[in-house]
A and B are shown apart, each in its own frame.
Chain A
Amino acid sequence: MKKLIIALLLILFLNPFNAKLGAQCDTIASICAKHIISSFVSDGQQYRSLLLNSEEYAEFKTTFFGETTYRIAACSGKTDGNLIFTIYDQDRRVLFSNKNQKNAPYWDFKIKSTLETTIEARLDSNKNAGSGCAVILIGFKQK
């Protein structure tokens, strides 16, 4: 049993497909990072998810603190505008979607009061025929 687990782990980690996906996500994350300009401080996290098609979506839960301005950058692929991101409040009301802003690769949010949100990311079916790595980056600045 132990040997089987080790074999499965080796397959998982040494699988060239997984390695390729990881490298693909790394590249996308570094391209996306250019949108978090120096006036914003990165929250230090990279929210990543492999999406197999435009039906699939990834959700990231985050807290936005009051009196803070956030920048959210959303990327998939090597060009801008492939990823649709939507921000919902705790009652699942839509606060923003970049779909209404020509799939803008980044957007700023001035937060009046602390709130819990869910960021949903999905590939744009008009731009992606297949799968892709979705990357969301968040930067912030006070006031």
Chain B
Amino acid sequence: MHFSVVANKNNGSQQLRYRIAEQKQALSSILKVLSQNNSYEAKELSSHLRELHKIYEGVIFKYTYEEPVTDSIRKITYINSTTEISLSDEQLVKITDKIEEIRNNLVNITKSNP
């Protein structure tokens, strides 16, 4: 996530913006996994990630089903459904700032506990 927001800051593109937005789903999964861990570090990280998740709550996904196409000879199915994502500039700035803050916290913890 940090790589994507830094890359977007340096050389923003629609594709990067989309990639940052779609991390909403992965973030939800990480929070679910972390909720099963009672260690101090996990709780600390969860609390930061929940704040990030709150910002992501405003990112809207609109899923549209399309019929998949299967090529039985090549053993491949083309999943043609689409997901439109609505992410404002303001949300992107907030997400970027929060990710940098979380990353800096992690790096500082690692530095102080080598």
Listed in ascending order, the chain A residues whose CB lies under 8 Å from chain B are 61, 63-66, 69, 89-91, 93, 95-96, 100-101, 104, 106-116
Q: Are A89 and B65 neighbours in the complex by a CB distance under 8 Å?
A: yes
Please report B residues at the A interface, Cβ cutoff 8 Å. Answer: 18, 22, 25-26, 29, 63, 65-66, 68, 70, 72, 74-83
25 contacts between A and B (CB under 8 A): A61-B29, A63-B22, A63-B26, A65-B22, A89-B63, A89-B65, A90-B63, A93-B65, A95-B68, A96-B68, A96-B70, A96-B77, A101-B72, A106-B75, A107-B75, A108-B77, A109-B76, A109-B77, A109-B78, A110-B78, A112-B78, A112-B80, A112-B82, A115-B63, A116-B25
Among residues of A, the one whose C-beta sits closest to the C-beta of B70 is A96
> A108 to chain B: which residues have CB within 8 Å?
74-77
Which 10 A-B residue pairings sit nearest by Cβ, starting from the closest? A108-B76, A113-B82, A114-B22, A113-B83, A63-B25, A96-B77, A110-B78, A111-B79, A95-B68, A112-B80
Question: Interface SS of chain B: helix, strand, loop or mixed?
Answer: mixed
CA distance A66 to B15 in the complex (A): 10
Q: Which of B22, B72, B81 contacts A112 (CB 8 A)?
A: B81
Quick one: closest B residue to A61, CB to CB?
B29
Closest to B18 in A: A66
Beyond A63-B26, A107-B75, A107-B76, whether A113 also contacts B81 by CB under 8 A is: yes
Do B63 and A110 have beta carbons less than 8 Å apart?
Answer: no
Is B22 in contact with A95, judged by CB distance below 8 angstroms? no
Q: How far is the CB of A116 from chain B (nearest CB, A)?
A: 6
CA distance A69 to B71 in the complex (A): 14
Evaluate contact between B76 and A64: CB separation under 8 angstroms. Answer: no
**Residue contact A64 to B79, C-beta cutoff 8 Å:** yes
Chain B residues with CB below 8 A from A111, complex form = 79
